[in-house]
C-alpha cells in the first residue's frame, strides 16, 4: 500500500513535503478545485501503471513511501521496473483508451465512424496503423488524390528502375541483334562462303559464329595473303594427281670434288727439264711426224729427223703416268658435262610442271620453289661445275707444273635436293588435298566467314556492348534481389499485421458490461457500445441505434467511466486487487448522473473490496457529499478515511480537508467559512492566496445560495 507522497517536485508541485498529514488508508479522498493539482497526482500513479514517464514531466522527481517490506519507496527511477497492479482513471486514460472522445487540438468532441476499445487493443491498433503507414497505399486513385506510397512506393520505384534497366538492356540487345541480322542478310547475297548447299545464314547462325570468335586466345582475322589463299581454294576444282620422278644425286658433286682435288694435286716429274711451252711444242710436233720411219725430214726445220731422235723425244717428252692423268682429267671433264646435263634435265622436268596443275593455295609456293631451283642449278652449273672444270683444264694444260692450286668449288647440292624435296612434298600435299578438297573448301569458307564476322563485330564494338549488356543483366539481378527483399519485407509486415489483428483481444464482453452499467445505473438506453463483426476489437458508439455523432461532454464522461469500471473486470486486473485512482469522474453532469457515478463506484468498486487501495478526487462538493458516506466518518478520529484538500497557491499543496467541509455537506457552509476567514484576518498575508483571490466569487455564490433559499423566486431580488 501507499503510505504517503513524501516529496513531490512534479508539475504544479514544487518542493512539496508530506508534513503532519495523515497517512493513506484503504480509502482516500481528495477535494480541490479545477487546476489545483488533482490530475497531477493521478499522473504520478499512472506512470507506474503504463511503466512510462509522462512526456510532460520527464525531468520531475518524487518519492512515495510504501508499506510493502519488499518495496519501501517509489521514485521516478522505479517507473519502468515495478510489479505493481495499478488502475488509474483520468484524462490520460480516456485519451489512450477512448481517444476518439476528445480532440486534443480543438477541445471539441469528434464525429467518428468506429473506435478501438481497450488500451492494449489501442496499442495494437496503433502498431497496426504504424505498419500500415509503413506499407503505404498499394494502388493509386488520382481522382481522390490517393497515390502509391510507403513500401509499396519503394517497391514500385524498384520495379520502375528494373524496367528502365531492362529496357536499356533490351534496346542494346535488340540493336546488336538487328545489326547482326542485317549483316547476315547482306553477306549471304554477296559472299558465297556465307552459304553452303542451300543452307540459310541468319541471325542465329551469325550468333553461333560470334560465340566461336569469343574463344580465348584466338584470332580469326586473316592476313591479306591468307584471305586470298582461302578465297582461291574455294574456287578450285579437283586436280589430276601429280607425279614427281625427278632424281638428283646429292652426294655426286662432293665426291667429285674430293677426287678432282687428289688428281689436280698429284705431282708429275718429267725425265728432261724442258720448258713447258717447248714441251707443248714438241708434243704437238710429235703428233705431226711418223714415228715408225727410220729417217724423215722435219716438218719445221727440214733437217733429217732420225728414228733415234724421235725415240728420244718420245721417251723424254711423254710417259705412261702423264698420259694416264691426262686421260683421267679428260674423263672428269666429261663427267662434269654429265652432271651439268643432269642438273639441267632436273630443272627442265620441274619447269614442265605448270602452276595450274596445283591447287591455288599451293601455286604460289610452287612458283617460288621453281625460281629457287633455277637459281640453285645455275649456281651449281655456272659456279661449282665451272670452277671444277677450270681446275682440271689448268692441270691438263700444265701437267708438270707443281704449283697448280686447287680452287674450292661450293657444293649446293643439298640446297637443290631440299628444293626438289619441297616440290615433291608440295605435289604430295596437292594430291592429298584432292581427297580432302571438299572439307578444305568448307574450312576455308568458315575461316573467311569468321574473318568477316570478326571484322564486323570489331567495327560495331560488339563485345564492348555485350559487356555493357552483361553489366545491365547483373544490375537486373541486383534489382531482382532488392525487389524480392522488398516484397519479402512487405509480406512480413502483412503477416505481422495479420498476427496483430488476430491478437486483438475480444472486448465484446467488456463492452457489454459497459452497456449494462449505462442501462442499470444511468437508465440510459440511448448510448451503447456496438461491436463491428468484421473488425475485431473495434466498436461504434450508437445513440438510439444510430451512429452517434457530436457527443456531449457529459455523454463522453459516462461512456469513459463505464468503460473504466468494466475494464476492472478484464483479465489484466480482475482478482489482482489493484491500487485504484479515480480522478474527478464528474464533468458537466447533472445531479442525477452525479449520483449514478457515485452508485457505480460504491457498488462495483468500494463494496466489492477487490482492491488494495482506493483514491478518489473531485472538484464537485455534491459528489464529495456522496463520497463521505463511504468513509464511516467519525469526528476527530483521524484513523478513519483520510480526506485531503488540494489547493493551488504559488504551487500546489496538499493539506487536511477543513473541518467544516468534513462536517457539513453543502458548499454553502464551505463558502461561509472562506468569507469568514477573510473577514477575521487583519492582514492579507494571514490567508491563502486561493481564498484571497476567490473572495469576491465566494461572496457572490454564498449570496446566491442564501437569498434564493430565503426568497425562492426567479424575480430579481434587488432592484
Window from 6-15, 26-35, 422-431, 507-516 with minimum mean pLDDT: 507-516
Q: Nearest to residue 321, comparing CAs of 257, 266, 283?
A: 266
Q: Nearest to residue 565, comparing CAs of 525, 505, 513, 502?
A: 513
Angstrom distance (rounded) from CA 619 to CA 630: 17
pLDDT of 401 > 80? The answer is no
CB-based contact 246:420 (threshold 8 Å): yes
Sign of CA dihedral 603, 607, 610, 615: positive
pLDDT of 339 > 80? The answer is yes
pLDDT above 90 covers what percent of the chain?
22
pLDDT of 719 > 60? The answer is no
Q: Give the pLDDT band (50/70/90) at residue 356.
A: confident
- Measured at the CA of 246, the angle between CA 240 and CA 252, to 5 degrees, comes to 165
> Mean pLDDT over all residues of the chain?
81
Relative to beta strand 546-547, strand 535-543 is antiparallel
Q: Give me the pLDDT at residue 456, please.
A: 86
Q: Give the pLDDT band (50/70/90) at residue 4.
A: very high
Calculate the alpha carbon distances from 341 to 84, 243, 344, 348, 419 in Å.
133, 22, 5, 10, 18
Window from 333-337, 455-459, 507-511 with minimum mean pLDDT: 507-511
Angstrom distance (rounded) from CA 403 to CA 19: 157
Q: Nearest to residue 31, comparing CAs of 585, 647, 706, 692?
A: 647
pLDDT of 405 > 80? The answer is yes
Angstrom distance (rounded) from CA 181 to CA 76: 81
Q: Give me the pLDDT at residue 112, please.
A: 43
Judging by beta carbons within 10 Å of its beta carbon (0-12, 13-18, 19+), is residue 308 exposed, middle or buried? exposed
pLDDT digits (tens, 9 = 90+) for 421-432: 999 999 999 898
Q: Tell me the DSSP string of 52-104.
A: S--TT-TT-EEEEEES-SS--EEEGGGTTS----EEEESHHHHHHHSGGG--T
CB-based contact 184:206 (threshold 8 Å): yes
CB-based contact 557:588 (threshold 8 Å): yes
pLDDT above 70 covers what percent of the chain?
82
Window from 170-184, 245-259, 570-584, 658-672 with minimum mean pLDDT: 658-672
Q: Which helix (H) or strand (E) holds 464?
A: helix 462-503
CB-based contact 676:714 (threshold 8 Å): no
DSSP structural state of residue 632: T
- Measured at the CA of 261, the angle between CA 260 and CA 262, to 5 degrees, comes to 90
Mean pLDDT of 252-269: 84
Window from 168-182, 286-300, 596-610, 692-706 with minimum mean pLDDT: 286-300
CB-based contact 590:622 (threshold 8 Å): no
In this prediction the pTM is 0.47
Q: Give me the pLDDT at residue 655, please.
A: 92
Q: Give the pLDDT band (50/70/90) at residue 196.
A: low
Q: Give the pLDDT band (50/70/90) at residue 613.
A: very high
More confident residue, 89 or 215: 89
Q: Give me the pLDDT at residue 210, please.
A: 84
pLDDT of 665 > 80? The answer is no
Burial 495-508 (b: 16+ CB within 10 A, else e): eebeebeeebbebb
304: Cβ–Cβ under 8 A, 6 or more apart, which residues? 295, 296, 297, 298
More confident residue, 678 or 145: 678
Half-sphere exposure of 483 (CA within 13 A, CB side): 14
Residue carrying the nine cell digits 486561493: 690
Q: Give me the pLDDT at residue 634, please.
A: 39
pLDDT of 296 > 80? The answer is no
Q: Give me the pLDDT at residue 228, please.
A: 83
Relative to beta strand 27-32, strand 86-89 is unpaired
Q: Give me the pLDDT at residue 108, please.
A: 38
Angstrom distance (rounded) from CA 589 to CA 179: 88
Strand order in the sheet with 613-618: 86-89, 579-583, 613-618, 27-32, 643-648, 652-656
Judging by beta carbons within 10 Å of its beta carbon (0-12, 13-18, 19+), is residue 264 exposed, middle or buried? buried
Q: Give me the pLDDT at residue 183, please.
A: 80
Calculate the alpha carbon distances from 150 to 131, 219, 480, 499, 668 in Å.
10, 54, 19, 20, 62
Altogether, the residues listed in the chain come to a count of 719
Mean pLDDT of 465-473: 90
Q: Give me the pLDDT at residue 555, please.
A: 78
Residue carrying the nine cell digits 647440292: 413
pLDDT of 278 > 80? The answer is no
Q: Give me the pLDDT at residue 14, please.
A: 93
DSSP structural state of residue 292: S
Amino acid at each position: 500500500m501507499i503510505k504517503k507522497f513524501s516529496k513531490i517536485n512534479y508539475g504544479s508541485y514544487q518542493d512539496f513535503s508530506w508534513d503532519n498529514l495523515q497517512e493513506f488508508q484503504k480509502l482516500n479522498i481528495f477535494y480541490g478545485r479545477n487546476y489545483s493539482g488533482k490530475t497531477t497526482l493521478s499522473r504520478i500513479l499512472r506512470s507506474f501503471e503504463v511503466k512510462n514517464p509522462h512526456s510532460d514531466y520527464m525531468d520531475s522527481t518524487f518519492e512515495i513511501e510504501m508499506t510493502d517490506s519488499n518495496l519501501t519507496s517509489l521514485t521516478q527511477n522505479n517507473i519502468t521496473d515495478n510489479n505493481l497492479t495499478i488502475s488509474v482513471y483520468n484524462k490520460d486514460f480516456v485519451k489512450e483508451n477512448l481517444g476518439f472522445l476528445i480532440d486534443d487540438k480543438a477541445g471539441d468532441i469528434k464525429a467518428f465512424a468506429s473506435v478501438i476499445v481497450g488500451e492494449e487493443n489501442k496499442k495494437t491498433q496503433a502498431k497496426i496503423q504504424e505498419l500500415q503507414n509503413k506499407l503505404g497505399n498499394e494502388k493509386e486513385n488520382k481522382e481522390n488524390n490517393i497515390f502509391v506510397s510507403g513500401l509499396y512506393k519503394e517497391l514500385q520505384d524498384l520495379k520502375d528502375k528494373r524496367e528502365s534497366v531492362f529496357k536499356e538492356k533490351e534496346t542494346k540487345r535488340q540493336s546488336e541483334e538487328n545489326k547482326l541480322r542485317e549483316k547476315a542478310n547482306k553477306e549471304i547475297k554477296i559472299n558465297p562462303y556465307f552459304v553452303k548447299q542451300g543452307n540459310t545464314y541468319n541471325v542465329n547462325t551469325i550468333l553461333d559464329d560470334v560465340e566461336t570468335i569469343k574463344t580465348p586466345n584466338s584470332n580469326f582475322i586473316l592476313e591479306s595473303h591468307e584471305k586470298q589463299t582461302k578465297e582461291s581454294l574455294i574456287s578450285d576444282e579437283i586436280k589430276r594427281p601429280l607425279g614427281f620422278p625427278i632424281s638428283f644425286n646429292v652426294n655426286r658433286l662432293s665426291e667429285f670434288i674430293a677426287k678432282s682435288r687428289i688428281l689436280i694435286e698429284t705431282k708429275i716429274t718429267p725425265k728432261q727439264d724442258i720448258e713447258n711451252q717447248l714441251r707443248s711444242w714438241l708434243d704437238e710436233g710429235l703428233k705431226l711426224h711418223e714415228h715408225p720411219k727410220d729417217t724423215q725430214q722435219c716438218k719445221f726445220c727440214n733437217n733429217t729427223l732420225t728414228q733415234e731422235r724421235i725415240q728420244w723425244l718420245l721417251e723424254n717428252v711423254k710417259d705412261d703416268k702423264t698420259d694416264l692423268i691426262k686421260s683421267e682429267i679428260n674423263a672428269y671433264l666429261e663427267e662434269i658435262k654429265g652432271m651439268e646435263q643432269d642438273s639441267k634435265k632436273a630443272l627442265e622436268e620441274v619447269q614442265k610442271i605448270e602452276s595450274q596443275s596445283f591447287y591455288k593455295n599451293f601455286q604460289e609456293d610452287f612458283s617460288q620453289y621453281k625460281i629457287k631451283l633455277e637459281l640453285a642449278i645455275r649456281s651449281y652449273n655456272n659456279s661449282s661445275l665451272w670452277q671444277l672444270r677450270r681446275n682440271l683444264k689448268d692441270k691438263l694444260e700444265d701437267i708438270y707444273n707443281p704449283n697448280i692450286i686447287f680452287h674450292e668449288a661450293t657444293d649446293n647440292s643439298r640446297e637443290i635436293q631440299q628444293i626438289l624435296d619441297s616440290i615433291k612434298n608440295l605435289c604430295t600435299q596437292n594430291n592429298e588435298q584432292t581427297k580432302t578438297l571438299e572439307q578444305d573448301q568448307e574450312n576455308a569458307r568458315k575461316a573467311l566467314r569468321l574473318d568477316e564476322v570478326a571484322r564486323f563485330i570489331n567495327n560495331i564494338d560488339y563485345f564492348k556492348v555485350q559487356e555493357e549488356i552483361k553489366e545491365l543483366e547483373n544490375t537486373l539481378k541486383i534489382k531482382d534481389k532488392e525487389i524480392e527483399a522488398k516484397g519479402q519485407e512487405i509480406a512480413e509486415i502483412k503477416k505481422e499485421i495479420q498476427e496483430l489483428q488476430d491478437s486483438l483481444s475480444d472486448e465484446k464482453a467488456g463492452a457489454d458490461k459497459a452497456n449494462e452499467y449505462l442501462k442499470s445505473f444511468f437508465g440510459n438506453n440511448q448510448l451503447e457500445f456496438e461491436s463491428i463483426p468484421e473488425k475485431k476489437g473495434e466498436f461504434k458508439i450508437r445513440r438510439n441505434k444510430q451512429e452517434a455523432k457530436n457527443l456531449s461532454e457529459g455523454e463522453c464522461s459516462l461512456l469513459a467511466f463505464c468503460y473504466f469500471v468494466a475494464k476492472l473486470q478484464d483479465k489484466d486486473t480482475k482478482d489482482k486487487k489493484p491500487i485504484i485512482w479515480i480522478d474527478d469522474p464528474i464533468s458537466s453532469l447533472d445531479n442525477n448522473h452525479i449520483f449514478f457515478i457515485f452508485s457505480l463506484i460504491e457498488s462495483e468498486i468500494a463494496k466489492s473490496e477487490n482492491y488494495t487501495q482506493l483514491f478518489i478526487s473531485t472538484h464537485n462538493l455534491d459528489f464529495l457529499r456522496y463520497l463521505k458516506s463511504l468513509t464511516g466518518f467519525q469526528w476527530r478520529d483521524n484513523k478513519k478515511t483520510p480526506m485531503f484538500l488540494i489547493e493551488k497557491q504559488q504551487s500546489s499543496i496538499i493539506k487536511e480537508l477543513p473541518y467544516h467541509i468534513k462536517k457539513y455537506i453543502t458548499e454553502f457552509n464551505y463558502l461561509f467559512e472562506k468569507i469568514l476567514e477573510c473577514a477575521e484576518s487583519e492582514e492579507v498575508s494571514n490567508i491563502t492566496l486561493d481564498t484571497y483571490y476567490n473572495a469576491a466569487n465566494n461572496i457572490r455564490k454564498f449570496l446566491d445560495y442564501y437569498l434564493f433559499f430565503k426568497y425562492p423566486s426567479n424575480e430579481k431580488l434587488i432592484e
